[in-house]
Amino acid sequence: MKKFMIIIGLLLVVFSFASKDVIVVGTTDKIRTLDPANCYDYFSSNILQNILSGPVDYEIGTANIKPWLFESWDVSDDGLVYTFHIRKDAYFEDGTQIDANVFKYSFDRVMKLNGDPAFLLTDAVEKTEVVDKFTFRVTLKNKYSAFVSVLGYTVAFPVNPKVFPKDKFYEGAPSASGPYKITEWIRDVRLVLEENPKYFGPKPKTPKIIIQFYENAQQLRLALETGEVDIAYRHLDPRDILDLKNVPGIKVYLGPSPQIRYLVVNVKQKPFDNPLVRQAIALAVDRETIVNDIFVGLAKPLYSMVPAGMWSHEDVFPKRDLKAAVEILKVAGYTKDNPLVIDLWYTPSHYGTTEADVAQVLKESLEQTGVIKVNIKYAEWSTYVEYFLNGTMGLFLLGWYPDYLDPDDYLWPFLSINGAKSLGSFYENKNVEDLMTAARAATDQFSREMIYKLVQNIHAAEAPYIPLWQGSADCEAHDYIDGIVLEPTQIFRYYILERK
């Protein structure tokens, strides 16, 4: 049945190709959920950014916050109380108006259900209040200088109370409040977005976007070259990206990105509960081979969780040193005669088909110590998420796209107690959390930067995460497509795409 649906979908794609009103996008990524209360992966969040409206948005192509559903806001002198004024012309696709009651329902629901991204609100928000129909008030637990930036992430996007139940997650298509609404969704096969007539903002440049899902990068490249899709977005193989630069009629877009990749270490699971083991692994990983051989220069080695180019970044992790790794392992009680045997997990499709190669390079680099033996294991994304949330995996690959552009977003989600639980490291350090809370309260960048550099150094010593590389942004499209913008926020806006 699924194969039949795929064939029908491809026929529809080919038929639609003749229309300027339709653009077809191909991807190997997957949608996990479209409930903002439980959505915490890049691709699902990006779909939400095209079908829902948020409290604030970013000016296209920049990291500059602008008012959106919240027209303006006031902050109390002590920095704890935010009073937001809501625009009066915003509606969901069924005609339900977005007002203060909707915002309170949505924020309270996120915090009650306590899904993957909930800590972004629960760690910050003390209470929410409806002041009047179009005035919404949020009281914070502590001063938080980046709070408005958090509101640009989908966890803060309002949902329709008539569609999203208060006491459980919703697995269907959201009621749209943004440029597009979903008119068809066959999971892992096809998603159809069509213009939302109830949207208060500018009309999409293209009335209909069809997103086709492919099993692997080879299929996606073929679909692009044969004209089955107009755009390929996530994930072509790095060598294919370079090859396509020389294909007539195809344009390759490349840009810097704050996306990072790293190893997560479950500090509650043996033998990873020993910080010496974590430090030895950090010393043995071979970043250079990964970025040069697998990503052919389209990535850079990373030595901190805060990406290069962002203020407060500091290279705090050591360069590769096998001799030092062996010495640390010896202190921890491991030798060639008593090797450290570990499992390394990866997910085969969510991050593209290069992931298996990355896992193999990591295995080889760790085993070059002569003391570590690595068993490679894998699981598909939905199972993988379940495994790291319940603590099944001890060492595994994960990636990060920014929720909001601030160093706080590269430290708090990883090193706070609630954030670490949501990422599977289960790291706990009250002193670190207190430092990060102080950084949130600081109003000048210099003070925050000094704190964040200290936190980065503590993180490198304790190593609950091991940064590996920083990626680049890419998109490949036929040259008749316009409107592709690789933004610093990593928001991919389907609604500004158009055929020339």
Q: Which residues contact 395 (CB under 8 A, 6 or more apart)?
A: 263, 264, 265, 266, 272, 281, 342, 343, 344, 345
pLDDT in tens, 192-234: 999 999 999 999 999 999 999 999 999 999 999 999 999 999 9
- 262 shares its domain with 142: no
**132-163 pLDDT, tens digit each:** 999 999 999 999 999 999 999 999 999 999 99
Residue 147 included in any domain: yes
pLDDT digits (tens, 9 = 90+) for 393-434: 999 999 999 999 999 999 999 999 999 999 999 999 999 999
Which pair of tokens denotes residue 469? 């590389």
289-340: pLDDT as tens digits: 999 999 999 999 999 999 999 999 999 999 999 999 999 999 999 999 999 9
Q: Is residue 497 part of a domain?
A: no
Shared-domain flag, residues 122 and 262: no
Domain boundary among 156, 175, 191: 156
Domain of 81, CATH number, reads 3.90.76.10
Type of residue at 429:
N
Helix (H/G/I), strand (E/B), else coil: 297? coil
pLDDT of residue 130: 98
Does residue 217 lie within any of the structural domains?
no
In whole angstroms, what is the distance from residue 187 CA to residue 173 CA?
A: 11
DSSP string, 370-408: SSEEEEEEE--HHHHHHHHHTT--SEEEEEE--SSSSGG
Domain stops at, among 156, 178, 212 = 156
Identify the domain boundary among 103, 132, 156.
156
CA distance 394 to 397: 10
Q: Which residues make Cβ contacts (< 8 Å) with residue 77, sequence separation at least 6?
A: none
Q: Is 440 helix (H, G, I), strand (E, B) or coil?
A: helix
Of 130, 68, 86, the C-alpha closest to 105 is 130
Instruction: Identify the DSSP state of 298.
Output: S
Question: Number of H helices and number of E strands within the chain?
Answer: 16, 19
Q: What's the Cα-to-Cα distance from 451 to each of 243, 278, 407, 431, rounded to whole Å?
A: 44, 23, 11, 12
Structure tokens at 314: 């500091």
| Burial of 110 from C-beta contacts in 10 A (0-12 / 13-18 / 19+) | buried
In a domain, 93, yes or no: yes
Closest alpha carbon to 36 in 138, 191, 151: 151
Length of the chain: 500
On whether residue 130 sits in a domain, the answer given is yes
The count of domains in the chain is: 2
Look at residue 45 and tell me if it is in a domain: no
Residue 79 included in any domain: yes
Q: Are 402 and 409 in contact (CB under 8 A)?
A: yes
Residues 143 and 271 in one domain: no
pTM: 0.93
- Residue in this structure with the two tokens 């709070």, named with its chain if needed: 147
By residue range, what is the domain housing residue 291? 258-472
Assigned domain for 245 exists: no
